[in-house]
Every structure is written in C-alpha cells, then in structure tokens.
C-alpha cells in the first residue's frame, strides 16, 4: 500500500510526509517539481528511509504522472502542489493558472484514467484528496459569520481565483465522472519549514537580522491561524473517513490581526533571543498595502469536528512558541533557503512599498 503526495517538498506537503511516515508504515511517493519553495532539506531525516520515494517532476506533465501512477499503483493521491503566495500571484498570475488550474486538471485526468481501470476493493477504496484554501471564499466584514462549507466562492486575488477554479474542477470530476474526491479548505498555516516570504518566518528572519518588519497597511487584516501539524492530522482524518464528494473546512479557531502576530513574534524573540539594541518591536514598519488585500478570513470548523472528531491540538500560544523555537534552532536551514533569487523577490515586492 502506498499514497502519492504532490508538492511533498513544500511547506505543508513536507510536514505531511514527515507526519505520515512517523505514524504509518505505508510508503509515500513524493512528486515535486522543486520550484523556489520546494526544498528537499525539509525531508533530510528521510534520506535513508525506503518508505519515502521522491519523484522529481511536474504535475502538468501528463505522461510523467501516468507513468508514476502506473508504476506505484497508489491507493490515494493527496494533492498539495500549488503556487500559494498572493503577492507573487499579483506580479505573475500566469504561473498560478498553469500550476493550480492546469496542474489539477492533469492530475484529475490521470487519476480518473487509473481509477477507471481498478476493480473491487482497490476501486472502492481509492481517494483523491485536494488541499485548498479559505481564500476562495473572499473577504469577511468584522461582524460576519466565519466561512462555512456552504459559503459562496468570491476569490479576490489571482492566487485565490486559481485555487477556486481547481476546487470547481475537483467537484465536477466527482459529479460528472464519479471520481472519489475529497476537498479541504484550510486557514493560514504556520510552523516548521515555511518558506521565509510568508508573514511569520519573514518577521523572524528580519528581526534576527535587525531589518525592518514590514506590515501592510494598518496591520489590522485578520486571519485564522492553524498550526501545520494540526492541519496534517486533519487531512489524515479526512482521507481515512471523509464522505466522498464533501468539503471540509480546517481552521485553528485563532483569529488574529497581522499586527498581533508580529507583536507576538517580537515578544517571543525578546524572550528567547534578545537583541542587543532593544526590543524587536522597534523594527515594525508600516508599508503600502498590497492591491485587493482581503480584510478578514475566519473558518467555521464545526463540520470536521462533528463528523470526524477533529479539533486542533495546539493553541496559538503553544504553536507559535514551537514555531519561533524551531526557526531559532534551524538557522542553517533558513540561510540555505534564502538564496539570491529569494533576495531578488523580496527587493521587488517590498522595494515598491515605501514606509508610511
């Protein structure tokens, strides 16, 4: 028995692969293109583990995907692979459409072709689990109810629009062809191995380097924060017991403003790695907001709790402390991923935004 994981060298995908192999003897075929955010260092602990089989390839390459599936005959496909950074989607939306829409279409067709040829228990037990985001639902007002699985889609960025399109494809392949699919829509993840363009690792890296901590607009945009290991546990439950064709929202029950997050990170760094020139919060710098910045996301995760008994194990306070401690203990990992290309990206994105 084996599962195929796409994007398993990225942030959430690599945490899922590590978590899966720590709790199961079932092998993982890990398909990843290794773009800027895919990093095999995340999986260094599996270097000598025969249960982890890495395949370097593109999910848009149908012949490659078909051959990989035919060779390993997975009982499930867990689809993480995606371009996922809103700012990058604003600068270059084409790659988001290619990977998130065309890539998901290619995987669905490959999965359908494979599943159609299965028989008996193998056919009945096959699953295609699509990992998506709460951003497909758009933006909430301060007093609006959190997103539920019945919330209409209203994506506002090229990234969220491409993920919404992929969600619709997954739904259609179930209703039209009967493909046994499951979809999860998660809130903002944080934890180990997150590429340092995202808010929390960027704040940690900049603070330790005594650089400005850029906060968009007034810093009061609200997100629901989910510790990545809790997310992985939820996906395992959905894969094992989720109802076919259903969507499950996965959230952390932790609504925080971006400014609250930055101040929390600064306070933990003051405690765990105090600076020599004063508190890290002195580095907070307000910069021009990004175009179309959604004001608030919040997840109603009662369905997954009611049907599958899942709730996050970590509070935000315990999860963020573990996260900051991990980055402090893994500075070599951070240094290795902060390449010249990444520095060029930071300059391009934040250099355009003067302090305000």
Whether 346 shows a pLDDT value over 90: the answer reads no
Q: In this prediction, what percent of the chain has a pLDDT beyond 90? A: 87
Q: What are residue 84's phi and psi, to 5 degrees?
A: -135, 5
The H or E element spanning position 123 is helix 120-125
Measured at the CA of 280, the angle between CA 274 and CA 284, to 5 degrees, comes to 170
- pLDDT bin (cut points 50, 70, 90) of residue 351 is low
Q: What is the pLDDT of residue 290?
A: 84
Q: Each residue of 137-149: pLDDT tens digit?
A: 999 999 999 999 9
Q: What is the pLDDT of residue 337?
A: 83
Q: How far is CA 268 from CA 204, 273, 277, 334, in A?
A: 10, 8, 16, 18
Average of per-residue pLDDT across 191-197 = 93
Helix (H, G, I), strand (E, B) or coil at 29: strand
215: Cβ contacts below 8 Å, ≥ 6 apart: 258, 259, 262, 284, 285, 286, 287
Nearest by Cα to 321 from 251, 264, 281? 264
Helices (H), 178-294: 199-208, 228-241, 258-272
Q: Each residue of 146-187: pLDDT tens digit?
A: 999 999 999 999 999 999 999 999 999 999 999 999 999 999
**Alpha-carbon gap, residue 199 to 195, rounded angstroms:** 10
Average of per-residue pLDDT across 64-87 = 95
- Marked catalytic residue, from 83, 87, 134, 167: 134
Is 134 among the residues known to form the active site? yes
- pLDDT bin (cut points 50, 70, 90) of residue 85 is confident
Q: What is the pLDDT of residue 343?
A: 59
Is 102 among the residues known to form the active site? no
- Marked catalytic residue, from 135, 224, 255, 300: 135
The H or E element spanning position 227 is strand 222-227
- Marked catalytic residue, from 137, 159, 216, 350: 159
Q: Domain spanning 2-191+225-253+296-314: which superfamily?
A: NAD(P)-binding Rossmann-like Domain (3.40.50.720)
Average of per-residue pLDDT across 102-122 = 98
Whether 41 shows a pLDDT value over 80: the answer reads yes
Is 159 among the residues known to form the active site? yes
Average of per-residue pLDDT across 264-278 = 96
Query: Residue 310 carries which DSSP code?
Result: -
Residue with token string 């994981």: 5
Whether 350 shows a pLDDT value over 60: the answer reads no
Average pLDDT value over all residues in the chain: 94
Average of per-residue pLDDT across 193-209 = 94
pTM: 0.94
């Amino acid at each position: 028995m084996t599962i195929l994981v796409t994007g398993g060298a990225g942030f959430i995908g690599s945490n899922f692969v590590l978590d899966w192999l720590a709790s199961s003897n079932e092998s993982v075929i890990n398909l990843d293109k290794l773009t800027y955010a895919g990093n095999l260092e995340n999986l260094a602990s599996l270097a000598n583990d025969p249960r982890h089989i890495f395949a370097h390839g593109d999910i848009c390459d149908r012949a490659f995907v078909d051959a990989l599936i035919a060779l390993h005959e997975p009982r499930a496909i867990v689809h993480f692979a995606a371009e996922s950074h809103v700012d990058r989607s604003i600068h270059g939306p084409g790659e988001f459409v290619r990977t998130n829409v065309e890539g998901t279409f290619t995987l669905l067709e490959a999965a359908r072709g494979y599943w159609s040829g299965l028989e008996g228990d193998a056919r009945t037990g096959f699953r295609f689990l699509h990992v998506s985001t709460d951003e497909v639902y758009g933006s909430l007002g301060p007093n609006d109810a959190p997103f539920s699985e019945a919330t209409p889609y209203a994506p506002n960025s090229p990234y969220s629009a491409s993920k919404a399109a992929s969600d619709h494809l997954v739904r259609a392949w179930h209703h039209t062809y009967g493909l046994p699919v499951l979809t999860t829509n998660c809130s903002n993840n944080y934890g180990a191995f997150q590429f340092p363009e995202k808010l929390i690792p960027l704040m940690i890296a900049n603070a330790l380097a005594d650089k400005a901590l850029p906060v968009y607009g007034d810093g009061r945009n609200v997100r629901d924060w989910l510790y990545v290991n809790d997310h992985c546990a939820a996906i395992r439950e959905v894969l094992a017991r989720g109802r076919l064709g259903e969507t499950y929202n996965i959230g952390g029950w932790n609504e925080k403003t971006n400014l609250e997050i930055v101040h929390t990170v600064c306070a933990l760094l003051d405690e765990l790695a105090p600076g020599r020139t004063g508190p890290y919060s002195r580095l907070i710098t307000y910069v021009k907001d990004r175009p179309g910045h959604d004001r608030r996301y919040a997840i109603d995760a009662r369905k997954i709790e009611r049907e599958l008994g899942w709730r996050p194990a970590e509070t935000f306070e315990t999860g963020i402390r573990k996260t900051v401690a991990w980055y402090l203990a893994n500075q070599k990992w951070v240094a290795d991923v902060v390449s010249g290309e990444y520095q060029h990206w930071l300059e391009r994105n934040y250099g355009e935004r003067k302090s305000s």
